[in-house]
Amino acid sequence: MAKSTSVWGIEIGQSALKALRCTKVDEEVVATAFDYIEYPKILSQPEADPEELIADAISQLMERNEGMTDKICISVPGQSGLSKFFKPPPVEVKKIADLVRYEARQQIPFELSDVVWDYQMMPGSMVEDGYALDSEVGLFAMKREQANRQLAPFDTANLEVDVVQLAPIALYNMVAYDRLGERLDGEIFNSDDPPPSSVILSIGTDSSDLIVTNGFRIWQRSMPIGGNHFTRQLTKDLKMTFAKAEHIKRNAREAVDPKLIFQTMRPVFNDLVTEVQRSIGFFRSIDRKADITELLITGNTVKMPGLAAYLGKNLGFEVHTLDRFNRLGGDDVLAIPTFRDNATTFAVCYGLCLQGLGISQIHASLVPQEIITQRMIRAKKPWTVAGLAILMFGMSANFYFAQNSWQESHDDIWKSANSAVTSMANYANEHRDTDSELEKKLTYLNAVGEEITGDAENRVLWMELIRGVNQIIPRGVYEGVEPGQMPSPKDVPYEDRIDFQITSFETKYYEDITEWYDKRKKRFADEKADWEKLMDITREPGEVPAEPEPPTGPFWVVELQGYHYYNNPERVGLDGNNHTRKYLTTAFLDPSRLPDDVANRIIRLPDPNDPSADLIEYTPAELGISYPLMLDIETAIEEKIPNPEYEPPLAGVGTVGVGPVAGAAAAADPDAEPEFFTARRMDFAFQFLWTPTTHSQRMEAKEAARLKAEEEAALRGEETPTEETTDATLDDTVAATP
């Protein structure tokens, strides 16, 4: 289908479909058509069928606008994708793509094959002699499944979408062109003295997008609050239908009691202001040089009486409503009452048109590459056939001439030359081998030197491991016994002691742990099943336990050997090996599941760079500990334990009351200390893997886990993750435990 020079910018909102067609006339963007199709029901209402409502709206749009043969750009909600901005180190411009691909693997919490992503350098980036010196790169991504879902209504209507863009980025393109164009054209970005920033707040139906930009740099966040929250508040407090509440919200001043309406909606006003304040406060904490001078608001919700004034009063900014566009021509469209009444909702469409016309600051698109490839193949298929025909003719001619040349060649002509080349190649290989050996020796000596001159963090790694393991091993909590003290056998019999006695601490280093793991893979699976059964970990019907990812690369294998006396046969299922699983395996695998009858197993280590600072808490995974395993199934044996308080009877000296008779009498004394205690002893061998991690690496991992949890929550449309969610993300990132 042939495309014209005009562009349609289409936004499928929760309450209406907005579309704007623009064209470029003598360097001016002119609006030539628009459409505003409001759905009978809001898409998020329980009784609504979003697919049917969107399909009907697109059908109406095509009927009113002669089939839509122009270029089409659509937007997707901000919470449906990810936008990440980072500063690369000084690097050649041609290597930016490789650097961004590496960054994408780190920042996108999914396999890249499951994601549609694109990138570009932000305006104001300094490039000299082919090197990007002071630049910022924007990375944009969306799950492939989500992208196909957004394109599905247009595929059904046989409309080809040329650009898919995140709504916040489309808003930035609009503001950058319409409000900040002169700055971007004539000003060079100075990171030490950045220009004033503007806050753009787009209040949607169920969520809002907040963008902070000075034209050269962007920061954006999606907030889970929108116009529907006002309607739901009225529905909840005034006991009215959703439709009536929506009507009253839009016409609050004409209500019977306007004051009651505004008082009812006040909590939502406050929530909106609080979210905006939190977002701006966080932005200022990461960019202290930013100077925010104004707040631009858009979306039909801003027409609510008093909203703009309330935001300005509580936020302390000058508030402007984006109900007109400074650089958009086309009075035939702009003067239509329907457009003027809903102008605040066309900012995203305007930004999409700018990108389609090729005059936007950000031109990255999230159309899946396979769709673009299919369109290119379809468009170029005739040229491809012609090219293949020419190629076949050329290959045939080349074969003919090559055959003639080969027939005129003789091996004897090249024999001496080939011999000389072979001799020189062997000579060169000998020197390469010698050079390779010398390089290996140099690398080894450098490694030894770095190890000898290592910093404080590396020197304390083994002490941290030993101290951490000592803190992980469970210790029983007994009534009347001070923590850290061993109870008397009379107060706490050996068979009632939960404690583990460690007799050996051995280590062995493996360059590649794969062979070690393969030999114990079945043992890991069996032990995991026994542990889950003992800890009563249940799964949903039909749920298959996830297989642990096998470890690869270098690891230390640490083996603990020891024993315990908690082996009373009357404790069916809780003695012997199960006792080791319940307490020792749990302490290394998931300390949060430890029973209450042991001391709190939290690893607390000092900062090696500042010993006077407070102790820092870690989980076993953060310390680099993973894959704990009880090696063998053992059987308890009976053992006699000497009593340290036993005093043997005095030898007889031939007087009354002294001698063997007196000794026998003492032995018969019920209060006398026995010579031995008898207990059942269970020996065990316990192994785990350890990857040395320095204090700096652990601190970086904590921060990375926090940022990753926030991004995953943003992709799922959730609020900022809790501390427990961040800790779980950190454990998953640091170590894959079975």
Contact 34, 346 (CB under 8 A): yes
- pLDDT 10s digits, 306-331: 888 888 888 888 898 988 898 899 98
pLDDT at residue 658, rounded to an integer: 40
Contact 364, 65 (CB under 8 A): no
| Region 64-91 average pLDDT | 85
User: CA-CA distance, 183 to 194, in Å (whole number)?
Assistant: 11
Sequence-distant (6+) residues with CB within 8 A of 725 are 709, 713
Q: Is 390 helix (H, G, I), strand (E, B) or coil?
A: helix
CA angle, 642 then 645 then 647, to 5°: 95
Residue 720 has pLDDT above 70, yes or no: no
pLDDT at residue 663, rounded to an integer: 44
pLDDT band at residue 662, thresholds of 50, 70 and 90? very low
Sequence-distant (6+) residues with CB within 8 A of 633 are 577
343 or 243, higher pLDDT: 343
In the chain, pLDDT over 90 holds for what percent of residues? Answer: 28
Residue 657 has pLDDT above 90, yes or no: no
Residue 73 has pLDDT above 50, yes or no: yes
Domain ranges in the chain are 7-367, 458-539+547-644+674-697
Residue in this structure with the two tokens 């699983």, named with its chain if needed:
581
pLDDT at residue 380, rounded to an integer: 79
433 or 597, higher pLDDT: 433
SS3 of 431-448: the string is HHHHHHHHHHHHHHHHHH
pLDDT at residue 660, rounded to an integer: 42
Residue 608 has pLDDT above 70, yes or no: yes
pLDDT at residue 411, rounded to an integer: 67
Residue 738 has pLDDT above 60, yes or no: no
What mean pLDDT, rounded, does the chain reach?
A: 84
User: CA-CA distance, 52 to 64, in Å (whole number)?
Assistant: 18
User: CA-CA distance, 462 to 444, in Å (whole number)?
Assistant: 22
- pLDDT 10s digits, 130-172: 787 778 888 889 888 888 888 899 889 888 899 999 999 999 9
Residue 670 has pLDDT above 90, yes or no: no
User: CA-CA distance, 486 to 492, in Å (whole number)?
Assistant: 9
User: CA-CA distance, 540 to 371, in Å (whole number)?
Assistant: 38
User: CA-CA distance, 56 to 16, in Å (whole number)?
Assistant: 11
pLDDT at residue 685, rounded to an integer: 95
- pLDDT 10s digits, 552-568: 999 999 999 999 999 98
Contact 351, 360 (CB under 8 A): yes
pLDDT band at residue 656, thresholds of 50, 70 and 90? very low
| Region 591-613 average pLDDT | 84
The mean-pLDDT minimum among 9-13, 410-414, 515-519, 685-689 falls in 410-414
- pLDDT 10s digits, 265-306: 888 888 888 999 999 999 889 888 888 889 999 988 888 888
Residue 363 has pLDDT above 80, yes or no: yes
By DSSP bridging, strand 197-203 and strand 292-298 are parallel
Residue in this structure with the two tokens 């009976």, named with its chain if needed:
638
Per-residue b or e along 701-728, where b marks 16 or more CB atoms closer than 10 Å to that residue's CB: bbeebbebbbbbbbbeeeeebeeebbbe
pLDDT at residue 357, rounded to an integer: 92
Measured in whole angstroms, the distance separating CA 514 from the mean position of its chain's CA atoms is 27
| Region 705-710 average pLDDT | 87
CATH, domain range 7-367: 3.30.420.40
Residue 226 has pLDDT above 50, yes or no: yes
Of all helices (H) and strands (E), which one includes residue 679? strand 676-690
Residue 214 has pLDDT above 60, yes or no: yes
pLDDT at residue 666, rounded to an integer: 45
Q: How far apart are the first and last CA of the chain?
A: 54
pLDDT at residue 502, rounded to an integer: 94
Residue 575 has pLDDT above 90, yes or no: no
| Region 393-409 average pLDDT | 78
User: CA-CA distance, 416 to 408, in Å (whole number)?
Assistant: 18
**Residue 638: is it exposed, middle or buried by C-beta count within 10 angstroms (0-12/13-18/19+)?**
exposed
pLDDT at residue 75, rounded to an integer: 92
Residue 430 has pLDDT above 90, yes or no: yes
pLDDT at residue 278, rounded to an integer: 92
Residue 4 has pLDDT above 70, yes or no: no
In the chain, pLDDT over 70 holds for what percent of residues? Answer: 91
Contact 474, 594 (CB under 8 A): yes
User: CA-CA distance, 684 to 632, in Å (whole number)?
Assistant: 7
